[in-house]
Amino acid sequence: MPDESAAAHPDSFSDLGLRADCGDCFGLCCVALPFAASVDFAVNKDAGKPCGNLQEDFRCGIHSRLRERGFKGCTVFDCFGAGQKVSQVTFGGEDWRGSGGTAREMFGVFPVMRQLHELLWYLAEALERPAARPLHRDLRRALDATERLSRESAAALLELDVAAHRQEVNVLLLRTSELVRAKAPAGRKAKDRRGADLMGARLKGADLRGANLRGAYLIAADLTGADLRLTDLIGADLRDASLVGADLSDSLFLTQAQVNAAKGDGRTKLPRSLTRPGHWDR
């Protein structure tokens, strides 16, 4: 019998389908979600209306030029693999152009699925943390329960109280955070800056190991050369934050979308589960 408390497989993010595969998606993020003309998007678009750049084959016509054409927001977004799950599993490969009813349901399910897949991402990471071993059995059960929910029917997903489920999972994620951050170097007093307003903060070279930056506003903050190992970054807003030369190699609950929204370079150290954004080289 397998050990329920065993850590997740190193490839669990891929095994769980948590990496976006646009080739197996019907362009859901380009249709289901709204956006407003801003520094992130060149035009306004209502929810349920296809983006003008979406082609008949569900591919983006300006994918390689999104930033140059004013669609920076598209290069930041990450669905955690929810797009292909909804397209190929929930709706069995039937695209939203098939019928109005399918389209409405599909567009409603997509944001629910994205939240479930985001939770799966955090739970999979928590299971890879040796410090959280006392919680591995409960984390595994939460992951299995969340994965089962993600495979429910469209009708069931539309009725799901995803906020309540997030709250249940978050209890485990908070306990995981405490155990992991406690491994920061002895003698350091890690700061609790949960939800703090640190927009534009000058944190160049700061030692933030073990800090709690959950939900912190770090927009345009200068984190150049900062040490963010063992730092809880779940929900932290890193838009335009400078991560040049920063060490996030062992940061906690960091996502690809957060990294995509920030600024970094070849010296920025990221967790092995994430990739360096292509626009960092431009």
Could you tell me which CATH number the domain at 190-282 has?
A: 2.160.20.80
Enter the DSSP assignment of 65.
G
Tell me the average pLDDT across 247-264: 97
Residue 5 has pLDDT above 50, yes or no: no
pLDDT of residue 106: 95
Give the separation between CA 128 and CA 126, rounded to whole angstroms.
5
Average pLDDT score, the chain: 92
pLDDT of residue 187: 60
What contacts 123, CB < 8 A, 6 or more positions away?
A: 139, 142, 143, 146, 169, 172, 173
Long-range pairs, 166-172, Cβ under 8 A, ≥24 = 166/115, 166/119, 168/142, 169/119, 169/122, 169/123, 169/142, 172/123, 172/126, 172/135, 172/138, 172/139, 172/142
Task: Using the Cα atoms of residue 156, residue 161, residue 163 and residue 169 in order, give the sign of their dihedral.
Answer: negative
pLDDT of residue 129: 96
pLDDT of residue 99: 66
pLDDT of residue 15: 86
Domain limits of the chain?
12-180, 190-282
Q: Name which of 181, 185, 207, 184 is nearest 126 in CA terms.
A: 181
Tell me the average pLDDT across 44-69: 93
Specify the amino acid at residue 54.
L
pLDDT of residue 244: 97
Q: Name which of 184, 241, 244 is nearest 212 in CA terms.
A: 184
**Do the beta carbons of residue 102 and residue 74 sit within 8 Å?**
no
Give the separation between CA 237 and CA 140, rounded to whole angstroms.
28
Q: 15 exposed, middle or buried (CB, 10 Å; 0-12, 13-18, 19+)?
A: exposed
pLDDT one-digit tens code per residue, 123-159: 999 999 999 999 999 999 999 999 999 999 999 999 9
Tell me the average pLDDT across 20-45: 94
- Angle (nearest 5°) at CA 68 between 236 and 45: 70
Residue 2 has pLDDT above 70, yes or no: no
CA 275 to chain centre: 13
Q: 100 exposed, middle or buried (CB, 10 Å; 0-12, 13-18, 19+)?
A: exposed
Check residues 101 and 136 and name the one with the higher pLDDT: 136
Residue 281 banded pLDDT, cuts 50, 70, 90 = confident
Residue 54 has pLDDT above 80, yes or no: yes
Tell me the average pLDDT across 91-120: 92
pLDDT of residue 4: 37
pLDDT over 90 percentage in the chain: 87
Q: Name which of 93, 94, 107 is nearest 48 in CA terms.
A: 107
**Do the beta carbons of residue 32 and residue 46 sit within 8 Å?**
no
pLDDT one-digit tens code per residue, 202-249: 999 999 999 999 999 999 999 999 999 999 999 999 999 999 999 999
Structure-block tokens of residue 24: 């197996």
Give the separation between CA 193 and CA 199, rounded to whole angstroms.
13
